[in-house]
A and B are shown apart, each in its own frame.
Chain A
Amino acid sequence: MSADRADVLLICYGNPGRLDDGLGAAFAEALQGMAPKGVEVDVDYQLTVEHAADAAEYRYVIFVDASVGDCEPFFFRRLKLGEEVTFSTHSVKPEAVLAMASKIFGAEPEGYALGIRGYEFNEFGEFLSPGATKNMTAALQFMLPMLEKRSFSEVAAEYGDTAADLNGEMKCKTESM
């Protein structure tokens, strides 16, 4: 990792063998070759505690995962420290990673969540559903200029607690992850 140059870390996670749960990994793959300078991309099955050490080395950390909420094609929002820090499994929540980065490493990166709506999770398969593929493409188009300009805060503020919809037809309330 070139922490001296990179200031943005995208942590894309999910299981590519479980259909739309692979949205995070698919997003990372789609971003390959297009990520602006200073943007690092990490891919993992699940979000776990060691990501706190990684997150602590960047100014901006964006968590990219499949979402099962109502928001289509995706949501993007600022994460707040100390929010939703309950642990349910070996995997942890993005807010918990940020909280650990703060409590353990004294770092407070700005954290954001990109939740891309998925539909099919309950079978094995190494492909995305058509709807998820469409949503991922939309999310990529949404993220690229923001990654270039580092305008995460502004965009998140613009959308507030709403999810982005590129078609401009709707903005829906996000759910806490």
Chain B
Amino acid sequence: MTATTDLKKIVIEPVTRVEGHGKVTILLDEENKVQQARLHIVEFRGFERFIQGRPYWELPVLVQRLCGICPVSHHLAAAKAVDRLVGGEELTPTALKMRLLMHHGQFFQSHALHFFHLASPDLLFGFDADVAIRNVIGVAAKFPDLAVQGVMMRKYGQEIIKATSGKKIHGTGAIPGGINKNLSIAERDELLKDIDQMMEWGRGAVKIAKDYTVENLEKLAPFGSFDSNHLAIVKPDGAYDIYDGGLRAIDSEGNKIFDHVDNQVYNDYIAEEVRPWSYMKFPFIKSIGPENGWYRVGPLARINSCDFIDTPEAEAERKAFAAVTDGKPCNVSMGYHWARMIELLHSIEKIQELLNDPDLQGEDLVVKGERRNEAVGIIEAPRGTLFHHYKIDDNDQVVMANLIVSTTSNNEPMNRAVQKVAADHISGVPEITEGLLNHVEVAIRAYDPCLSCATHAMGQMPLTVELFDHAGELIDRKSKG
């Protein structure tokens, strides 16, 4: 951008109710027309350097330091890579099912937190409702039943994580080639006590998201929306999966770009572009190139990409979701919310199935095989596909690490969403209100970004909106949070 002398600049920093530090800048000209809108994610670079030199067996625990919101995802992605380093990728049934239970517990709590406590204020009160009530306390006051459900679903997922990984923070459940504990009968029975209630709430959550989307489709369809490619892992039979499978990429019409790609060769298919204005990289599909090869990940991409879901209730909901777009991929950004709740329902169905599986009480926990010096672990985290790639030397020390986190893959889509909303809702209006600025945040929140930054000490994380005139002078500043 060169002709900035006649522009105003609006900065939203950090973006509220997304994790870590994000900043939105919107450049307006003298007629308040949007000239440029960008989401800057202040990702903390340096984690890959931090783990270099550490012994590989520390990785599954070490990587949890990366993020306070999705530590389980990093734990499991690293564990999958480390399994391969020790030749133990063919897990025992007990180890595999314990990890699946942990993973679905993480999905269940993460999606519940996002929907009920981060997204619901926008959906229940309106995008430009009074900010004093458009928050989770407002939800608790006006819709106490929903607030309770959100809290208790989140808590239930956390209890599963604790039971499978040993503790809530820095869990040690997944170890090279397996798991370090099974699920005791007492733990299983405790979790089964609430399963029927969680199932009922899961069904209710899908209904809320579906009804909201269908009833508001005319408004939501263009909101921050655009055609895109989609990426996810799928099982060999095309089934939805969040723990293991080959990579599948489809275009906006549903045509396959690649399918069932072996995780170990992901970098033959995916590359990352660096842009001078962003700390965060922009991944893209190599065969298409950086300009058009970017893709969405996360709930929307997963539901779009799979052929079916292997639990009955979530599959019925997936079909209803697909019917809205006549079986084609949904490219509506706000469709993430409905897709996310279908996933939540699937996770609680899976949790119920797993809790009733006696393999969880098995005692064959670890396998090992031929050692390797390089491995890739890919899983679907709640926010999207998560890549962990490591190389180790003969002294078992990590010499190379490359992580592509979900939010990085969604970097370009979120930027597109910001640009679209800014152009549609902010451009040319005489006064930029908080409600209008919240429209931008609503679009970002649909992706549930996690900005890889769990530092949060008391006194940090205000939201600052700064308005600059065309000469670059600060003319207004608002803070919240």
Contact = CB atoms under 8 A, between A and B. Distances in A.
B321 to A, nearest CB: 25
A177 B147 CA distance: 24
B151 A46 contact: no
Given A21-B454, A96-B137, A124-B50, A50 B65 contact: no
Interface stretch (A30-38, A62-70, A143-151, A152-160): A62-70
Interface string A70-86: 00000000000000011
Interface in A3-45: 14-18, 20-21, 23, 25, 42-45
A103 interface: yes
Interface in A85-106: 85-92, 96, 99-100, 103-105
A113 B152 CA distance: 24
B464 to A, nearest CB: 11
A124 B46 contact: yes
Question: How many of chain B's residues touch chain A, expressed as a range?
Answer: 35 or more
Contacts of B481: 86-88
A113 B47 contact: no
B158 interface: yes
A97 B430 CA distance: 38
A50 B46 contact: no
B169 A25 contact: yes
Given A49-B151, A88-B14, A104-B147, A124 B47 contact: yes
Interface stretch (B17-25, B338-346, B394-402, B431-439): B17-25
Interface residues of A, number: 49
A20 to B, nearest CB: 7
B151 A66 contact: no
A45 B169 CA distance: 6
A90 B69 contact: yes
Given A25-B169, A87-B17, A68 B154 contact: no
B123 interface: no
A49 B136 CA distance: 9
A50 B170 CA distance: 18
Nearest to A20: B457
Given A99-B137, A124-B50, A115 B151 contact: no
Interface in A111-152: 113, 115, 118, 121-126
B137 A49 contact: no
Contact of A122 (B140, B148, B455): B455
A17 B457 contact: no
Contacts of A15: 65, 68, 454-456
Contact of B137 (A18, A68, A103, A118): A103
Contacts of B150: 49
A87 to B, nearest CB: 5
Given A68-B457, A89-B461, A123 B137 contact: no
A69 B170 CA distance: 27
Interface in B167-191: 168-170
A100 B143 CA distance: 12
Q: Which of A14, A17, A25, A124 has the most CB of B within 10 A?
A: A17
A18 B14 contact: no
B123 to A, nearest CB: 15
Contacts of A85: 135, 137
Nearest to B136: A87
A88 B457 contact: no
Given A66-B457, A88-B462, A44 B148 contact: no
13 contacts: A17-B454, A25-B169, A44-B168, A45-B454, A50-B154, A68-B459, A85-B135, A86-B135, A87-B17, A89-B16, A100-B137, A105-B148, A113-B458
Given A45-B454, A85-B135, 15 more contacts: A46-B456, A50-B151, A50-B155, A53-B151, A68-B457, A87-B117, A88-B480, A89-B18, A89-B19, A90-B19, A90-B69, A100-B137, A104-B140, A121-B457, A177-B459
Interface of B: 14, 16-20, 44, 46-47, 50, 62, 64-66, 68-69, 71, 109, 113-114, 117-118, 135-137, 140-141, 144, 147-148, 150-152, 154-155, 158, 168-170, 450, 454-463, 480-481
